[in-house]
Structure 1
């Protein structure tokens, strides 16, 4: 028997539950289908557990530095089962809270199971069939397994495995030098593991400017993490001590032996088992669901939100997808993806806060560009905390006097970047931010000084 709803939401990640809340509050009957864990990646295997682990790793690191602050302690050790249990409790509390919220939501039917399209507006879950004039896909993504020789013949970890790990690897080999890999590399080094990062490209976090990439590498290497870039022929084989990883680099050993291997080479959308072809829903070459500026697919009445649409790989962009859809459907608004200004952070220590264009991207537009950069050693707050690694950099358009982008690599950078992000979002000139009076002592107080130092980029 066909079950009819006003709306069906597939996936209880960051966009699905709040959308269910808005739709039911508007009087609609809603089916929310989740085949695994309510909360999606962020709550269960992403932001919440990883940042909890980062906090524990920072505590261990700071304890080892206690003497720098005039504090005398004994030997520092890490109780990894306790660290993992703390992260697990944070996850469980968040997931349970979400489940309780959904369970109390009038007008909502929460269905556990695997959803598959059987037609443009019909979804099957086990033996049941559901239909609705509005269907929202919030199915998220998962870690990619690279097509590298031997990868299927050896044990390996992904981000899901790492957040549940209750031991410290003897030697963790991280394949991939981008955001996920770097965060796990630093935290496990601080927990006591030997760590090697293996990156196929010439440098880490290649999307960032070279000076950001080089500074992050230096921070990691200062903590004893080995970094192997230019590893253009990676392969795996079983070894008595774990896994032998072959790397074809310009210098160093050709084979590394790790007790554990983490694959952190990107993510893929959970779209391959949804029956999208039966619904006629278009995807691109990477499996992302193709959406327009309103998050609508090519099939009328079907929207895609979050990681599965390829238009943002962050919790905050997934939530903003919900905000856009809800505003347009329920509030008579006219919100679009193209209006979105995306900021993000790399949660190494110190963190990297980023918004807008890199300097390299800005220069490629051909417009006249202004750039200013100041080291964190100029920030009183950083000096007082004994955390002076990194720098601030702002890129602006010389003609419009608008900030094009910024990077704050340093203590508090993930928070301080919002002062710049907000001014960009409000479409204010750099001169407006220049005359702000920030609180002393904070990291943000250097921002007006950085703006004063903006100078034209020299032509090559």
Structure 2
């Protein structure tokens, strides 16, 4: 058995920087990774998908260039070149992360699968098949999530796609059916539609994006429908069958039987934590009914000295939240601080086009909590910059505390919606009121300037 001061399991966006800082603080540290350094974000999520989405956006821009007076004789989508570019970006980022770990003193990078075999002990099955037993005073669990596969009759008989395997396709699907309508489903759906696929999205609920306000969700449906993406709601997939080169999905749509035939099926029905084979019971670490590691506001598990960071603990599953988990641990353990994850702002951006940038509470959440709020709304057809660039799709929306005038949340469905909502996030962080933004001087003509007009709608 080899003894360490600290062991990090998983090299995602929390585990990698944490392992380096632990080692730099003088602790003998090991980081265990069963596949590739960088976690989901670098290898399967943010970096590869946004790289491919950039290609899809350019294809859409070329196809819609005539309204701006640019006439293109024709264009082709070279899917192999898109994949090559995606792979190059991933390998570069993964390589930089791996290099940073290997160049850090007091830090060992071990490739293998870790399983707890005691309270502060793990057995690592190395990639060459041998085993190594390690112990440490402190453990940090950063193993993330993986796609959840719904229980549908016949699903195990088809070669369904996940958010990971779809990026390894060598051809553009002729007809892609997507089960689920969350952020992953919508991003891939729009991307492959722009590459040339026919796309059908199947959602079990009465509408898509139940966590967003209904007007925002309706606007997104309108935008995707304009690209000939078919969205079927109140739809349950009851049976899947291979039939020749096609896949048949037998549906129950609003209590009526229906079926569709497609060439590929993507499962976009959520994710689940990778804790099943981690041996947490041997360590005494408690998990909830869904398999997520239970933590307190300081990311401590039920066992002293064992912490969980990132998606594995449940809650918002975003890269930047995992990184902030690292910040909390760094402040508390290395810098002897008293940081907490309680009440932190959770911004995020869904990279459909136009982007949906979000922070804080929605209008529907405000109503459910009984808060007295003002709601500012404005279509992008009223934004000078949107008109000038020829893309007025989407809208902006902010929820404001009626008594103080402070911003409680915002939804920006617009070109660079993620950047625009960040301005509102900074206002929330600084306690700036909507009146101050309404009277603020912003460069003309920018998207930021539209915040003047957004809050002027409250004067009416």
SS at match of 2:249: strand
Q: Does 1:110 align with 2:109?
A: yes
1:451 and 1:382 mapped to 2: Cα distance?
17
Give the Cα separation in 2 of the matches to 1:409 and 1:292. Answer: 34
Give, in angstroms, the shift of residue 339 of structure 1: 3.4
Q: Distance in 2 between matches of 1:76 and 1:112?
A: 44
- Return 5+ residue gaps in structure 1 as ranges: none
Map of 1:426 onto structure 2: 430
Residue 313 of structure 1 and its aligned partner are, at CA, apart by 0.1
CA distance in structure 1 between the partners assigned to 2:401 and 2:321 by the alignment: 25
**What are the Cα deviations for residues 399-445 of structure 1, in whole angstroms up to 9, with x where unaligned?**
23221111000111111100111111233333333333222111111
State how far apart, in whole Å, the 2-side matches of 1:251 and 1:147 are: 19
Aligned CA distance change for structure 1 residues 375 and 417 (closer, same or farther; 3 Å): same
Aligned residues: 455
1:121 Cα shift? Answer: 0.7
Does structure 2 conserve the Cα–Cα contact (< 8 Å) formed by 1:372 and 1:455?
Answer: no
Q: In 1, distance between residues paired with 2:233 and 2:316?
A: 27
CA drift of 1:237 comes to 1.1
Alpha-carbon distance in structure 2 between the residues aligned to 1:246 and 1:228 = 13
Structure 1 position 252, deviation (Å): 9.1
- Equivalence for 1:174: 178
- Contact 1:241/1:257 (8 A) holds in 2: no
Residue 331 of structure 1: aligned partner: 335
Aligned to 1:273: 277
Q: Does 1:17 align with 2:21?
A: no
Match status 1:378 vs 2:382: yes
Instruction: Report the equivalent of 2:345.
Output: 341
Moved more, 203-212 or 314-323: 203-212
Q: Tell me, yes or no, if the aligned pair for 2:8 and 2:142 is still in contact at 8 Å.
A: yes
Q: Distance in 2 between matches of 1:175 and 1:73?
A: 35
Matching of residue 287 in structure 1 with residue 291 in structure 2: yes
8 A Cα contact 1:243 1:257, kept in partner: yes
1:101-250 superposed matches below 5 A: 101-126=100-125, 127-250=131-254
| Contact 1:11-1:33 at 8 Å conserved across structures | yes
Looking at structure 1, the residues matched to 106 and 393 of structure 2 have their Cα atoms a distance apart, in angstroms, of 52
Cα distance, 1:233 vs. partner?
4.2
CA contact (8 A) 2:237 2:249 kept: no
Q: Deviations over 1:114-162 (max 9, x none)?
A: 0010111111112211111110000011000001121111110000011
Q: Distance in 2 between matches of 1:306 and 1:234?
A: 33
> 1:275 Cα deviation (Å)?
0.3
3-state DSSP class of the match of 2:206?
A: coil
Pick the aligned partner of 2:370 from 343, 363, 366: 366
Determine whether 1:438 maps to 2:442: yes
Larger mean Cα displacement after TM superposition, 248-257 or 153-162: 248-257
How far apart are residue 70 of structure 1 and its match? Answer: 1.4
> SS state of the match for residue 236, structure 2?
coil
- Distance in 1, matches of 2:440 and 2:331, equals 32
Greater mean deviation of Cα atoms: 441-450 or 409-418: 441-450
Q: Which residue of 2 aligns with 1:7?
A: 6
CA offset digits 1:212-269 (Å, max 9, x no partner) = 1111011111001111111034321111132111121149981111100000000001
Q: CA RMSD in A?
A: 1.5
**Greater displacement, 87-96 / 119-128:** 119-128
Q: Please, which runs of 5 or more residues in structure 2 have no aligned partner?
A: 126-130
> What does residue 47 of structure 2 align with?
48
The alignment's TM-score, normalised by the length of structure 2, stands at 0.96
Contact kept in structure 2, 1:83 and 1:166, CA below 8 Å: no
SS in 2 for 1:325: helix
- More displaced, 191-200 or 397-406? 397-406
1:320 is matched with 324
